């Protein structure tokens, strides 16, 4: 009876995918797990402020702690690449949530800048890598192909919204009662993600064991993956610099509270992903990715001349560009991967993004120590500008918009014989 019920549920999910239904039961569970884990992780978005005001850390030390998170996220990727397409994705979600519970509670015992702080942040980086990659891959498994950009945007939005809520809650909480209640709150939300993660296996992900693994059949596909990694790493560097160094930069210019940056970032990113998500699949993922990456460059460059009163504006523009770019760019890349290779491809994304994140904040933190914050943002803008040029001129992501019989654009992606086209309306 149970086997028959499981078969029925699988067939129903397949029917919903064929009909283009997005908000299925597994999708809702994925979004709930993303929101609760995202809140727990986003509590630590204010860690640079904690390091400055409580531990008296300087830019280089802030960069070291932030880079540790990114480096640990990258370090866990070889494990993910080996196992994420072989084991149930939910296992990784639950493991990440469990690690987040333990480390959040342990932060209550940090009272100086020492090795415990570094170790805890490293474990949190690994936990984030496990959870984020697993959730994103689950979305690629259950979402309708023609709404893939929208679906990827939704799982990002489920975590993005917590980037606003968590700092807005935690900043006054820490000011009134200290940081320990904030760390306990992070543990509680991670616990909720652990519970929700237990329901993800109720709907097995699609598996194409007979498919061609990513990069196995065509050399040009490997070139596309390399370009994907380089561009993603560049944007990861920019994201890390913006999220980390706007806080000490604004504080040094007389700003008292910095949570407004996260609130405006979140609102704009949600608008980009929820209101514009389906539009991206219609007008062309390549076009949206190019425009968004150029906007990203302008935002980072503008922050080099920061006006403390415009902190919310910087956050909003970053949210708009980030919220537009990654759903479009990731969907463009996933279009050429078989179901059995999606996990590995998204592991490339995680490794590249947080590799760029870690390298950027570490190297540029030392630069800020000697040259100040403006030069850091200017150098980062140059990096993203170079990445935008690679995207525009890369043959691996060459896209032509052609009309179809239905009047909607069709994206033709030059990725070799393995995957020559994406169907109309952005179907993959």
CATH code for the domain in which residue 363 is found? 1.20.1250.20
Alpha helices, DSSP H only, in 107-216?
A: 115-142, 148-177, 180-197
Contact 381, 175 (CB under 8 A): no
Which range among 3-7, 116-120, 302-306 shows the weakest confidence by mean pLDDT?
3-7
On whether residue 211 sits in a domain, the answer given is no
- Name, of 57-66, 233-242, 283-292, the range with top average pLDDT: 233-242
19 exposure class (CB count in 10 Å sphere: 0-12, 13-18, 19+): exposed
Name the helix (H) or strand (E) containing 62: helix 59-75
| Range 296-308 average pLDDT | 92
Q: What residues contact 265, with CB distance under 8 A and at least 6 apart? A: 163, 164, 315, 316, 318, 319, 322
| pLDDT of amino acid 297 | 94
- Between 146 and 112, the more confident residue is 112
Q: Are 308 and 188 in contact (CB under 8 A)?
A: no
What is residue 8's predicted lDDT score, i.e. its pLDDT? 36
Q: Is the pLDDT of residue 295 over 90?
A: yes
Total number of domains constituting the chain: 1
Average pLDDT (301-312) is 90
Measure Cα distances from 216 to 212, 332, 350, 419 in Å: 7, 19, 20, 13
Domain residues for the domain of 180 are 2-203+217-426
Angle between helices 25-42 and 115-142 (to 10 degrees): 160
SS3 content of the chain, % helix, strand, coil (to 5): 80, 5, 20
User: What's the distance, CA 289 to chain centroid?
Assistant: 15
349 in a structural domain: yes
pLDDT for 260 beyond 60: yes
What value does the mean pLDDT of the chain take? 76
What's residue 303's pLDDT? 93
Residue 67's pLDDT is 86
Q: Is residue 115 part of a domain?
A: yes
Average pLDDT over residues 132-160: 74
Quick check: is 375 in a domain? yes
Least confident segment among 51-60, 114-123, 229-238, 383-392: 51-60
| Burial class of residue 3, CB neighbours in 10 A (0-12, 13-18, 19+) | exposed
Q: Which residue has the higher pLDDT, 216 or 239?
A: 239
Domain membership of residue 316 (yes or no) is: yes
| Cα→Cα distances 257→63, 261, 302, 309, Å | 20, 9, 20, 11
394 occurs within a structural domain: yes
Residue 278 CA to residue 288 CA, distance in Å, equals 12
Question: In terms of Cα–Cα distance, which of 381, 236, 362 is closest to 305?
Answer: 381
Task: Find the mean pLDDT for residues 205-223.
Answer: 43
| Band (308; pLDDT cuts 50, 70, 90) | confident
Q: Is the pLDDT of residue 293 over 90?
A: yes
| CB within 8 Å of 12: residues ≥ 6 apart | none
**Paired tokens of 420:** 């020559």
Instruction: Say how far apart CA 211 and CA 309 lie, in whole Å.
Output: 53
Q: Is residue 81 part of a domain?
A: yes
Instruction: Tell me which residue of 339, 183, 375, 166 sits closest to 266, measured CA to CA.
Output: 166
Residue 209, domain member (yes or no): no
């Amino acid at each position: 009876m149970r086997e028959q019920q499981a078969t029925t549920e699988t067939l129903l999910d397949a029917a919903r995918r064929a009909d283009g239904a997005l908000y299925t039961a597994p999708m809702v569970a994925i979004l709930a797990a993303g929101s609760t884990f995202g809140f727990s992780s986003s509590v630590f978005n204010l860690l640079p402020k904690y390091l400055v005001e409580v531990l008296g850390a300087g830019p280089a030390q802030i960069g070291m702690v932030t880079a540790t998170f990114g480096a640990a996220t990258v370090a866990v990727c070889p494990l993910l690449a080996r196992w994420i397409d072989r084991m149930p994705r939910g296992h990784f979600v639950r493991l990440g949530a469990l690690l987040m519970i333990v480390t959040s509670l342990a932060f209550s015992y940090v009272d100086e800048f020492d090795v415990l702080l570094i170790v805890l942040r490293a474990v949190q980086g690994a936990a984030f890598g496990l959870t984020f990659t697993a959730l994103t891959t689950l979305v690629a498994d259950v979402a309708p192909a023609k709404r893939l950009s929208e679906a990827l945007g939704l799982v990002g939005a489920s975590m993005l919204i917590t980037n606003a809520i968590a700092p807005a809650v935690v900043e006054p909480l820490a000011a009134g009662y200290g940081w320990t209640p904030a760390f306990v709150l992070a543990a509680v939300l991670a616990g909720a993600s652990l519970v929700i993660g237990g329901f993800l296996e109720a709907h097995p992900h699609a598996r194409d064991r007979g498919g061609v693994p990513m990069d196995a059949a065509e050399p040009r596909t490997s070139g596309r993956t390399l370009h994907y990694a380089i561009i993603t790493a560049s944007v990861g560097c920019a994201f890390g610099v913006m999220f980390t160094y706007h806080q000490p930069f604004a504080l040094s210019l007389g700003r008292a509270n910095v949570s407004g940056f996260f609130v405006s970032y979140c609102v704009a990113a949600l608008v980009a992903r929820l209101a514009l998500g389906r539009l991206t699949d219609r007008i062309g993922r390549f076009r949206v990715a190019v425009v968004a990456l150029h906007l990203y460059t302008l935002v980072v460059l503008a922050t080099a001349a920061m006006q403390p009163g415009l902190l919310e504006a910087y956050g909003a523009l970053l949210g708009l560009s980030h919220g537009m770019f990654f759903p479009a760019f990731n969907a463009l890349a996933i279009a050429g991967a078989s179901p059995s290779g999606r996990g590995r491809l998204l592991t490339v994304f995680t490794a590249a993004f947080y590799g760029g994140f870690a390298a950027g904040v570490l190297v540029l933190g030392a630069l800020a120590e000697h040259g100040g914050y403006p030069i850091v943002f200017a150098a980062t803008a140059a990096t993203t500008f170079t990445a935008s040029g690679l995207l525009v001129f890369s043959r691996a992501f060459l896209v032509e918009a052609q009309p179809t019989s239905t009047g909607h654009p069709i994206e033709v992606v030059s990725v070799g014989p393995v995957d020559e086209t994406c169907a109309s309306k952005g179907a993959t």
